[in-house]
Structure 1
Amino acid sequence: MAHLLIVEDDELLRDGLSAQLKQAGYLIDTADDGEAALDYLHKQAFDGVLLDLGLPKIDGLEVLQRLRQTLPALPVLILTARDGVEDRIAGLNGGADDYLTKPFNGDELLARLQAMLRRASLPAFGTRTSTIHPPAHAGGALRVDPSMPRAWLGEVAIELTQREWELLALLVRCEGQVVSREAVLAAWQSDAGEGGALASNALEVYVHRLRRKLADSRLNIRNIRGLGYMLETARP
């Protein structure tokens, strides 16, 4: 079930969209201004956003630009009364995936939304962040960008080397499962950058570094003797 955020200041339209999309099987959260939208996006993971441009507090285009800094591949469908060509260009250049002007047909909205989410799930669009949600008091969600060495704990960026990011991304993809030392070393050896193959004992150094960088969360890299490593949420 896809989780969507509707950002719309018109209460009647917002409630109507929410009801329609819930009926279509989506999980919905709503925000009535740009500030609330950014707060939602910092705290939760979404599969897509329906974004109005004419928002109070923070304009929709600024919301789009700011979310693109940390969520570069989150699917965004703009819904707006601004129907000029220059407005559509500004929205698409700002990072929107699609653009629908008000008033719009409900069936067309569903079709465009489904197409946008379907495109985002294809391998060519594989830059969406992987997310793990530890308890709320544990520093926020861990988000890892699978296309470049970037990760965040809540709103705070984690500084990672290429090797650390590769290890963390692999552990996140296999959360709750044991990742063997051989699997990590094979992934590293397939990368021509940063020195190529590494000695097995160097892996412990990177695991130690990652543990320190995750210290502000309750996420832990557990050493499973004789098998490998597993990313898990530590007990309180």
Structure 2
Amino acid sequence: MATILIVEDDALLLDALTGQLKQLDYGVSTASSVAQAMALLQAQAVDGIILDLGLPGADGMELLVWARARITGLPVLILTARDGVDDRVLGLNAGADDYITKPFNMQELQARLQAMLRRARQPAFTQASSAAGVASTTIGPLVLDHASHAAALNGDLLELTQREWELLELLAHRCGEVVTRDDVLAAWRASPPEPGQTAAPLNSNALEVYVHRLRKKLDASPLNIRNIRGLGYMLAKP
């Protein structure tokens, strides 16, 4: 069972979040200030943080920087009323794994939290299938050979670039589940660049291009890469 630290000074919201996460079988610890959160993190281990920024005494960003310097790989989701683009960029650049603004949808928060924790457990998705000893994956007419990084559709080999293969492998590995944009971008950044593409930007715009290419290559099949609004993509089971 994963344990989440909620750092929030709004007592009503803190109670609501605590109740929701406990219903989902998370362990929950709480703090209402940066000082309390720091003391708790020094005393016990947690698997992730939901962090408000507008806290009494010290800004939540101080806790983010402090935690990043001391606890390697601890996932942090910022939940704040600060909805400016500059605030988002600042939070993500400081090391937050995700950023949600208030008011928010509880189901979206739950999905993003689950995705964040999943990424923390799977830092490099390209090793997932081989590490599990899986030689190939079959989804309807699609067959992926993980050893050779090759995919065939209806028996015909697909021409895939390295990034297209990595994206397809992740979607297939989690077929029927939402794969967030951050999942893909983080894994791409952890893998070697494509030949001749050492300076290629890895961002949401690039991801849209690769998704469009894969969709075209899967056109002749019942497989569908769905766009899950606000979250990411999902390879729907045929």
- TM normalised by structure 2 equals 0.52
Partner-residue secondary structure (3-state), 1:103: coil
User: 2:83 is matched by which residue type in structure 1?
Assistant: D
User: 1:19 is matched by which residue type in structure 2?
Assistant: G
- C-alpha distance after superposition, 1:99-121 (max 9, x if no partner): 00000000000000000000100
- C-alpha distance after superposition, 1:172-224 (max 9, x if no partner): xxxxxxxxxxxxxxxxxxxxxxxxxxxxxxxxxxxxxxxxxxxxxxxxxxxxx
- C-alpha distance after superposition, 1:155-185 (max 9, x if no partner): xxxxxxxxxxxxxxxxxxxxxxxxxxxxxxx
* Residues in 2 aligned to 1:85 and 1:106: alpha-carbon distance in whole angstroms: 22
* Residues in 2 aligned to 1:4 and 1:102: alpha-carbon distance in whole angstroms: 19
Q: List aligned pairs for 1:6-85, cutoff 5 A.
A: 6-85=6-85
Partner-residue secondary structure (3-state), 1:77: strand
User: Which residues of structure 1 form unaligned runs of 5+?
Assistant: 126-236
Structure 2 equivalent of residue 121 of structure 1:
121
* Residues in 2 aligned to 1:74 and 1:6: alpha-carbon distance in whole angstroms: 13
Q: Shift of residue 72 of structure 1?
A: 2.9
Q: List aligned pairs for 1:196-215, cutoff 5 A.
A: none
User: 2:51 is matched by which residue type in structure 1?
Assistant: L
- Structure 1 residues 103 and 69, CA, compared in 2 at 3 Å: closer, same or farther? same
Structure 2 equivalent of residue 133 of structure 1:
none
Partner-residue secondary structure (3-state), 1:6: strand
* Residues in 2 aligned to 1:123 and 1:90: alpha-carbon distance in whole angstroms: 23
Structure 2 equivalent of residue 88 of structure 1:
88
Q: Shift of residue 123 of structure 1?
A: 4.1
Structure 2 equivalent of residue 100 of structure 1:
100
Q: Shift of residue 124 of structure 1?
A: 2.9
Report how many residues are paired.
125
Q: List aligned pairs for 1:122-201, cutoff 5 A.
A: 122-124=122-124
- Structure 1 residues 94 and 123, CA, compared in 2 at 3 Å: closer, same or farther? closer
Q: Shift of residue 58 of structure 1?
A: 1.9
Q: Shift of residue 73 of structure 1?
A: 1.0
- TM normalised by structure 1 equals 0.52
Partner-residue secondary structure (3-state), 1:83: coil
Partner-residue secondary structure (3-state), 1:99: strand
- C-alpha distance after superposition, 1:105-150 (max 9, x if no partner): 000000000000001001439xxxxxxxxxxxxxxxxxxxxxxxxx
Q: Shift of residue 22 of structure 1?
A: 0.3
User: 2:47 is matched by which residue type in structure 1?
Assistant: D
User: 2:20 is matched by which residue type in structure 1?
Assistant: Q
Partner-residue secondary structure (3-state), 1:61: helix
* Residues in 2 aligned to 1:56 and 1:73: alpha-carbon distance in whole angstroms: 26
Q: Shift of residue 57 of structure 1?
A: 1.7
* Residues in 2 aligned to 1:70 and 1:34: alpha-carbon distance in whole angstroms: 15
User: Which residues of structure 2 form unaligned runs of 5+?
Assistant: 126-238
Partner-residue secondary structure (3-state), 1:30: strand
User: 1:94 is matched by which residue type in structure 2?
Assistant: A
* Residues in 1 aligned to 2:124 and 2:59: alpha-carbon distance in whole angstroms: 30
Q: Which runs of 4+ in 1 moved over 4 A?
A: none
Partner-residue secondary structure (3-state), 2:79: strand
* Residues in 2 aligned to 1:92 and 1:105: alpha-carbon distance in whole angstroms: 20
